[in-house]
Each structure stands twice: as structure tokens, then as C-alpha cells.
Amino acid sequence: MKNAPITKKRSNYNNWINHTVMELESYEKQGSDFNKCLDKYNGNIPLWYMIDKITFGTFSKFLIILNKSLAREFAVTIYQLNKDLQNNKPRTPSAIFQFTQALVVLRNSVNHSDNILFNNYIQIKRSFFNQKDLEILNAENNTIFRGLFWELLILKYNYVGTPQQNKDDWNSFINEINEYITPTIAKKINFPKNWDKVLKIVIPSDISL
């Protein structure tokens, strides 16, 4: 009997397992609280503990192996979507995958002290962004959605469903960088017009994306 072909989903699953095992083994070698956890749970690793220990990059691969219904539920929870999915983004599981992968690139760039202004960010599909944001930006003719601004916009989407204090902190952050980004600088770093208006979270914050 021939072995069953390795599907893309199976390959993604194996990839995630391999990354996770390598990371958890590094904790085991360090003799940290990881070993205490193994003793407490008879060699088993609780999911909550594993998610807390693995890197953001490895976690992003975990999202890829979720079935579509779970991925959609995750997106609805994170991005505070209402039932009218036609007017909200992201409305497909693919969006949560690509958004997370984009944030992994941004996180790694910051962590490694790379030049985040002109980094080689991944391109995001137009359909994944909020149509209202694109209208404000007058982005109807844009074909490439790649760069620091779009990374920040994705990050903003993650803040919308968080507590009020987090939203206030985000808006303060946008106000701070706005003091340094003049129209000339904005053009050089490919920030669109009205970028600050789009990146700020509207208060009251009960307006869904």
C-alpha cells in the first residue's frame, strides 16, 4: 500500500509541530519552570502553557492549521466583527493568516533593530482592508498594499477589540509619531495622505471595522 500523499495542510501541521518542539526543548534544557510543568502534568504540556512559551512566529503558523470555522471565529473575536460581514474586514480566514504573518515581519524588524521605514514587508490583499479606510485614503487606484503604514493599519485593527486604555495608548502613540512625520517625510516613506486619521481609533470605540 502506497503512503498517502502529504497535503499542504498536513505539511503546515508538521511544520508547526517541528517549530514548537524545538522551542519547547530549548526551555527544557534551560531547566526553567518548563520542567516543573512537565512533572505536574505527567509529561503533558497544557495548551495555555505552550502558547505562552512559543514565539509569535510559531504561533502564527498555528493559525494556519486551524479549520476555517475556527479561524473565522478567531478573526471575529480579535477584530470585533459584527454579523454583517459584508461591510467588515477581515471576513475570510485568509485575512487572519496574512495579517498575522505581516505582524511577524514587523515584530522581527523591531526586535532586530532593522530599518522599519523601508523594510521588505509582505504585500497584503486589497480585499482584506476596511473599505472605509481605503476610501479615506483615496486608495481606489492602489495595487500594492505593502509598507510600514499598512503594517501599522493592521496593528490598529488588533487594538480595536481591546480595553479602552489600550485604545487610548494607541491613539497617543499615533499622535506622537505624527509630530515627527511632516508631509515631506510622509511622502518619502510612502505614507498616504490622511494616514493619521485612518490609524487613529475612533472614540467612542463601538464602531466595528
Q: List, for residues 2-15, the tens digit of each pLDDT value.
A: 454 456 666 766 77
Higher local confidence (pLDDT), 72 or 93: 72
Confidence of residue 1 (pLDDT cuts 50, 70, 90): very low
* pLDDT score for 181: 92
Q: How much of the chain exceeds pLDDT 70, in percent?
A: 75
Q: Alpha carbon 65 to chain centroid distance?
A: 16
Quote the strand ranges of the chain, DSSP E: none
Cα 160 from Cα 201, distance rounded (Å): 7
pLDDT tens track for 24-68:
777 666 666 777 877 888 878 787 777 777 777 777 777 777 777
* pLDDT score for 92: 62
pLDDT above 60: residue 89? no
pLDDT above 90: residue 76? no
pLDDT above 70: residue 205? no
Cα 177 from Cα 192, distance rounded (Å): 15
Question: Which 8-state DSSP code applies to residue 34?
Answer: H
Q: What is the mean pLDDT of residues 123-132?
A: 81
> Are residues 145 and 126 in contact, defined by beta-carbon separation less than 8 angstroms?
yes
- Helices then strands, counting H and E runs in the chain, come out as 11, 0
Neighbours of 93 (CB within 10 A): 20
pLDDT tens track for 137-155:
876 566 668 899 999 999 9
Q: How much of the chain exceeds pLDDT 90, in percent?
A: 17
Q: Alpha carbon 98 to chain centroid distance?
A: 7
Mean per-residue pLDDT of the chain:
77
Q: What Rg, from alpha-carbon coordinates, does the chain have?
A: 20
pLDDT tens track for 91-118:
566 777 788 888 888 988 888 888 888 8
Confidence of residue 87 (pLDDT cuts 50, 70, 90): very low
Confidence of residue 120 (pLDDT cuts 50, 70, 90): confident
pTM exceeding the 0.75 threshold for the entire prediction: no
* pLDDT score for 151: 92
